[in-house]
Chain A
Amino acid sequence: MERERILKIRDLTISFKTGNGKVNAIRGVNFDLYKGETVAIVGESGSGKSVTTKAIMGILANNGSIDSGSIEYTWHDENTGEAITKDIVQLSQKEMQKEIRGRKIAMVFQDPMTSLNPTMTIGKQIMEPMMFHYGKSKEEAYQKSVELLKEVGITDAEKRMKNYPHQLSGGMRQRIVIAIALSCDPYVLICDEPTTALDVTIQAKILELIQEIQKKKDLSVIYITHDLGVVAKVADFVNVMYAGKIVETGTINEIFYDPRHPYTWGLLSSMPDLDTSDDELYTIPGTPPNLTQEIKGDAFAPRNQYALNIDLRIDPPMFDVPGSNTHKVASWLMHERAPKVEMPESLKKRIEKMKKEGLTNG
């Protein structure tokens, strides 16, 4: 079956005006999202994961602006079934609000403790978007909300409709946030660290719920996370982001079993697991660069023990990994004339182990 492309992001550049000058938060991001598939964006805090998705939603902070690039979104007209492609970047705020946001692309937020309106009942918060966008009657919206609540695994749905957020636990609130996101039957679901703020025991359940719903509704999902464990569980494709750029992209197996970028090596090495208890957990040395300044060469070079001279001068382009049309790496190490550099021994062992255990869902 041919894959149907839903989102096509090209050369996205976003900057923020702050008191300390212009912050170049996103510096040329490219990625695609296909129907029914899951793309994860991984990276450290401040690498631009959230900013990218906020741009897709059109909810960038007021001081942020998209300087260049395009976010092409394709959907099928509800009546004619005809495919429509629009560049979200070119849409006005009004069009975004009326057509896209909430209706076609919905979002699950990080902290369910703060992302629900404390003075509005759960029911109202779920009913609101469908009444607003589709002009549903109160009864219709109520019925659908109760169904949605059941769907996201909330027992006593009718009773919960009357509850306020503070009367529910964190896990339940996240289920409510998911129900709100699903209320207008979106095509794309963006999950911004949906489990980070939750109890470990709840995390897996929420991930399973999102996967289950994704399958049932044939949703395309974008996961933002810094947790590679989550990525391994849910993603089909992974984009590793560093300092506002995607430095490595590929299928889940390519990223986990055959990582090529030293930054990805660092991320995988710094993943805690049960066997590494005797030595210290690996951390990537240094800190991410200051994005208010012009970055010369590869942004990761100062923290990269494998950095080449050219890394300090010229930003590496995306190199195709031989033998794959999905795996791409932005590192000069991939150049044919670059010295051959192997990933660290300890990481190799780790990957061997992961392969044996089948850590990923791929």
Chain B
Amino acid sequence: MSKSTLKYIGKRLLISLVTLFVILVVLFLIVKLLPGSPINNERLSETQRAAIEARYGLDQPILTQFVNYVKNMLTGDFGVSYNMYKDMPVASLVGSAAKISFMYGLSAVIIGGVLGTLLGVFAALHKNTIWDTLATVISVIGVSVPSFVFAMMILILFASKLHIFPTQYSSMNPIGSSIMPVMALSVGVIANVARFTRTEMVSVMNSEYMTLAKAKGLDSKTLIFKHALRNALIPVVTILGPILVNLMTGTMVVEKICGVPGLGKLLINSILSNDVNIILACSFLYAAMYIVMMLIIDVSYGIIDPRIRLGKEDS
């Protein structure tokens, strides 16, 4: 990596940090402005409640609370759960949930990315034939039907009728029980990637440089894999990152249906029970992931596409 690439990444990192800080301020304020209190046990008396609030530092002015929160955050301490998992550190709660969600999301993106690319290329190469139409129909269905509907359908088919896969998440069988939710999640990815790849591939195949490559007398295998695919996939890569983040946030319902103890489920439950620190940590994590993802994509984009590769002096 050249010097100016590093400089560019450094600059992007700095901007990301500022963005994250702003997000944190906004999140913190919103969470504090939420009606109700995390100490919501009705049997507590006023003095008991005040004592608990004092113990967690909730009686202090909001600015002090924020400064303390940031200070602890920098040491990796995101506070403790107030009521869902009494006094458990949020960092480990969110961490283990995020790990599961991330694995699910990543698997769905990888599976969906590969299958979607294949489907898209297939459709593009059979443009305006019955195969193209079929592939288009599949991807339109995949894009328009929400993933939880697929989750339900897959559950009914594979779990209730065929009894191939377990219905619910089980920590005893993490891989087996992940098959169905990942399948449900990847349908949308396949559809999106296929649609995108098809469009890109069609325009690349019609480009002048493909005519030149053809005029060189290359066979169609070389034409497609060495010349067309790379150019067609550059724009596709840009949508994979946001798809992954969307999957992680969008898995909530699928996680709920399949009983997966992931980030989505944790966030929903924490909102329902007003567990402020978990809400904060989850939301912050989503924002951070999004930003990191965009950064990774921008940098990798430069590696794939030499036109935006930075730090090479143009002649």
Taking Cβ atoms with an 8 Å cutoff, the residues of A that contact B are: 57, 59, 97-98, 100-103, 106-107, 109-111, 114-121, 128-129, 132-133, 163-164, 166-169, 177, 180, 184
Q: Most A CB atoms within 10 A — which of B208, B304, B312?
A: B208
User: Known interface pairs A117-B227, A119-B306, A164-B306. Does A101 touch B211 (Cβ–Cβ under 8 Å)?
Assistant: no
Pick from A111, A164, A169, A180: contact of B216, CB under 8 Å = A180
A106 touches B215 (CB 8 A): yes
State in angstroms the CA–CA spacing of A101 and B230 once bound together. 24
State in angstroms the CA–CA spacing of A107 and B217 once bound together. 11
**List of A residues within 8 angstroms of B213 by Cβ:** 117
User: Known interface pairs A102-B218, A129-B216, A167-B315. Does A114 touch B304 (Cβ–Cβ under 8 Å)?
Assistant: no
B219 within 8 A of A: yes
A133 touches B217 (CB 8 A): yes
**List of A residues within 8 angstroms of B312 by Cβ:** 167
A120 touches B227 (CB 8 A): yes
B208 touches A114 (CB 8 A): yes
B209 within 8 A of A: yes
**List of A residues within 8 angstroms of B208 by Cβ:** 109-111, 114-115
B234 within 8 A of A: yes
Pick from A132, A166, A169, A180: contact of B212, CB under 8 Å = A180
B231 touches A101 (CB 8 A): no
Pick from B209, B217, B315: contact of A100, CB under 8 Å = B217
A97 touches B209 (CB 8 A): no
State in angstroms the CA–CA spacing of A102 and B219 once bound together. 11
Can you list 27 A-B contacts (CB < 8 A)? A57-B215, A59-B211, A59-B214, A97-B219, A98-B219, A101-B217, A115-B209, A115-B211, A116-B212, A117-B209, A117-B213, A117-B231, A118-B209, A118-B306, A118-B307, A119-B230, A119-B231, A120-B227, A121-B306, A129-B217, A132-B218, A164-B307, A166-B306, A166-B307, A166-B314, A184-B216, A184-B217
State in angstroms the CA–CA spacing of A120 and B307 once bound together. 10
B305 within 8 A of A: yes
* Interface positions of B from 220 to 243, Cβ below 8 Å from A: 222, 226-227, 230-231, 234
A98 touches B217 (CB 8 A): yes
State in angstroms the CA–CA spacing of A121 and B307 once bound together. 11
State in angstroms the CA–CA spacing of A116 and B312 once bound together. 19
Closest Cβ–Cβ distance, residue B252 to chain A (whole Å):
38
B298-315 vs A, CB cutoff 8 Å, 1 = contact: the mask equals: 000000111100001011
**List of B residues within 8 angstroms of A180 by Cβ:** 212, 216
State in angstroms the CA–CA spacing of A184 and B218 once bound together. 12
**List of B residues within 8 angstroms of A114 by Cβ:** 207-209
State in angstroms the CA–CA spacing of A115 and B234 once bound together. 18
In the complex, the number of residue pairs spanning A and B with C-beta atoms less than 8 Å apart equals: 84
State in angstroms the CA–CA spacing of A201 and B297 once bound together. 41
State in angstroms the CA–CA spacing of A184 and B215 once bound together. 12
* Interface positions of B from 270 to 310, Cβ below 8 Å from A: 304-307
**List of A residues within 8 angstroms of B215 by Cβ:** 57, 59, 101-102, 106-107, 109
State in angstroms the CA–CA spacing of A11 and B315 once bound together. 48
5 extra A-B contacts, CB within 8 A, seeds A97-B217, A97-B218, A111-B208: A97-B219, A109-B208, A166-B307, A167-B315, A180-B216
Closest Cβ–Cβ distance, residue B139 to chain A (whole Å):
23
B305 touches A119 (CB 8 A): yes
Closest Cβ–Cβ distance, residue A298 to chain B (whole Å):
33
Closest Cβ–Cβ distance, residue A260 to chain B (whole Å):
35
B315 touches A163 (CB 8 A): yes
State in angstroms the CA–CA spacing of A118 and B208 once bound together. 11
**List of B residues within 8 angstroms of A100 by Cβ:** 217
State in angstroms the CA–CA spacing of A98 and B307 once bound together. 32
State in angstroms the CA–CA spacing of A109 and B218 once bound together. 17
Closest Cβ–Cβ distance, residue B125 to chain A (whole Å):
11
**List of A residues within 8 angstroms of B230 by Cβ:** 119
**List of B residues within 8 angstroms of A167 by Cβ:** 312, 314-315
**List of A residues within 8 angstroms of B304 by Cβ:** 119
The residue in chain B whose Cβ has the minimal distance to the Cβ of A159 is B315
State in angstroms the CA–CA spacing of A59 and B223 once bound together. 13
**List of B residues within 8 angstroms of A107 by Cβ:** 212, 215
User: Known interface pairs A97-B219, A111-B208. Does A168 touch B214 (Cβ–Cβ under 8 Å)?
Assistant: no
Closest Cβ–Cβ distance, residue A171 to chain B (whole Å):
12
A177 touches B307 (CB 8 A): no
Closest Cβ–Cβ distance, residue A324 to chain B (whole Å):
35
B60-88 vs A, CB cutoff 8 Å, 1 = contact: the mask equals: 00000000000000000000000000000
B217 touches A119 (CB 8 A): no
**List of B residues within 8 angstroms of A116 by Cβ:** 209, 212
The residue in chain A whose Cβ has the minimal distance to the Cβ of B227 is A117
**List of A residues within 8 angstroms of B314 by Cβ:** 166-167
The residue in chain A whose Cβ has the minimal distance to the Cβ of B306 is A164
Closest Cβ–Cβ distance, residue A105 to chain B (whole Å):
9
State in angstroms the CA–CA spacing of A117 and B231 once bound together. 8
Q: Most B CB atoms within 10 A — which of A59, A98, A177, A184?
A: A59
Q: Most A CB atoms within 10 A — which of B207, B209, B307?
A: B209
**List of B residues within 8 angstroms of A163 by Cβ:** 315
User: Known interface pairs A163-B315, A164-B306, A167-B312. Does A115 touch B218 (Cβ–Cβ under 8 Å)?
Assistant: no
The residue in chain B whose Cβ has the minimal distance to the Cβ of A54 is B211
